[in-house]
């Protein structure tokens, strides 16, 4: 079995408008970086297919899907101040969703241990009846529902490290235990959701874990969140598949976010998720591209993620000139302990328990 697959198609570049941070150059720079570092020689292409309307309708209303199609047939246009379509955006969005589904299939079939869908437009803000936050269809949410329907999976973990909270993904799974949605994100920014007390409802109570962080958090804080909160909860949940909403706008260079992650930080977070996958679900991971708007910072971070996924050791780490800190602040730990306190009736955060 090959280790790592990737999804890419030039059609993803045909979703564009003028002067927008979510631009085709994001993918072009990523592909250039993967070639430049030779990582592309060690990972294998997964050709995408368009998702069917029925597959997208696992999450979105038929009316929403048709609205996007009709707007694009008429040449596209802005859906809100942030979210746009162009003539081929519907086709690109269907291929983005389908590309992630292809990645999921190949991992489930055992052709790859893991895969990364380098697709756009992104998805985690898209609501069942509304496009928003640069997103048309919620790729990761559709993939989770697809895993439920096609493969009968009952425990899917979604890890979302985009700097923005994935409100569309949370909304989709807020009432179910079939998906454990974990999001670590910057607080007090768009879309203004994802607070610590938002933990799910009904059967889903406790299966949404939000860790909103103050601006300025970096590698050590994110790794602490994964170690102290994600790891023990995931080990008790025992996911059968892990999906990653991989948004690299928490990188220190990003013009939209205010976090301080480095490419090495993204590599370490990926390894921590892989550790969970190795122990719980035979390593099965499919990541999908979300945000990330500094072209070089995003490309380096994606290369670092591939470094981890494929067990490579290429030098893809920037020199920030800032010494990596080894400790976190008491205020930060207070925030982490608050998350634990809210979720303690659902998860035991003792690291030695719940092993798969």
Prior bond of 217 cis (ω within 30°): no
Look at residue 147 and give its three-state secondary structure: helix
Phi/psi at 184 (5° precision): -115, 125
Indicate which residue of 60, 125, 165, 251 is catalytic: 125
Among the listed residues 150, 147, 47, 136, the one whose alpha carbon sits nearest the alpha carbon of residue 94? 136
**Antiparallel, parallel or unpaired: β 84-86 and 285-289:** unpaired
User: How far lies 112's CA from each of 29, 169, 277, 302, in Å?
Assistant: 25, 25, 13, 18
- Distance (Å, whole) CA 334 – CA 40: 42
- Distance (Å, whole) CA 348 – CA 241: 21
CB atoms within 10 A of CB 238: 16
Angle formed by the axes of helices 89-108 and 139-151, to 10°? 40
64 given a catalytic annotation: no
- Distance (Å, whole) CA 317 – CA 267: 9
- Distance (Å, whole) CA 44 – CA 115: 9
For the chain, the first-to-last Cα distance in angstroms comes to: 23
DSSP letter for each residue of 240-279: SEEEEEE--TTBTT-SS---BB-HHHHHHHHHHHHHHHHH
Among the listed residues 106, 122, 1, the one whose alpha carbon sits nearest the alpha carbon of residue 45? 106
Among the listed residues 64, 75, 130, 141, the one whose alpha carbon sits nearest the alpha carbon of residue 104? 141
Catalytic residues: 125
């Amino acid at each position: 079995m090959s280790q790592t697959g990737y999804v890419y198609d030039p059609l993803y570049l045909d979703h564009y408008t003028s002067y927008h941070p979510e631009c085709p150059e994001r993918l072009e720079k990523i592909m250039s970086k993967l070639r430049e570092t030779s990582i592309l020689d060690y990972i294998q292409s997964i050709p995408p297919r368009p998702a069917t309307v029925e597959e997208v309708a696992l999450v979105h209303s038929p009316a929403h899907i048709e609205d996007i199609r009709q707007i694009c047939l008429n040449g596209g246009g802005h859906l809100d101040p942030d979210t746009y379509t162009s003539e081929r955006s519907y086709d690109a969005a269907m291929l983005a969703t389908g590309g992630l589904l292809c990645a999921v299939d190949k991992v489930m079939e055992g052709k790859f241990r893991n895969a990364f869908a380098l697709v756009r437009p992104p998805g985690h803000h898209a609501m069942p009846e509304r496009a928003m936050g640069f997103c048309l269809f919620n790729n990761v949410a559709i993939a989770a529902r697809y895993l439920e329907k096609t493969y009968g999976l009952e425990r899917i973990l979604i890890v979302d490290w985009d700097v923005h909270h994935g409100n569309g993904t949370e909304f989709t799974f807020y009432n179910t235990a079939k998906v454990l949605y974990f999001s670590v994100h910057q607080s007090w920014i768009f879309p203004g959701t994802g607070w610590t007390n938002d933990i799910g409802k009904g059967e889903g109570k406790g299966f949404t874990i939000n860790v909103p962080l103050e601006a300025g958090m970096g590698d050590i804080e994110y790794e602490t969140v994964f170690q102290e909160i994600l790891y023990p909860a995931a080990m008790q949940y025992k996911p059968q598949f892990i999906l990653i909403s991989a948004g690299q706008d928490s990188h220190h260079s990003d013009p939209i976010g205010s976090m301080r992650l480095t490419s090495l930080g993204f590599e370490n977070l990926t390894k921590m998720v892989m550790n969970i996958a190795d122990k719980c679900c035979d390593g099965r991971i499919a990541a999908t591209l979300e945000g990330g708007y500094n072209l070089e910072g995003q490309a380096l971070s994606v290369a670092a993620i591939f470094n981890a996924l494929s067990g490579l050791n290429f030098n893809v780490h920037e020199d920030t000139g800032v010494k990596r800190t080894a400790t976190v602040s008491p205020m930060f730990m207070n925030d982490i302990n608050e998350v634990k306190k809210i979720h303690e009736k659902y998860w035991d955060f003792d690291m030695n328990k719940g092993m798969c």
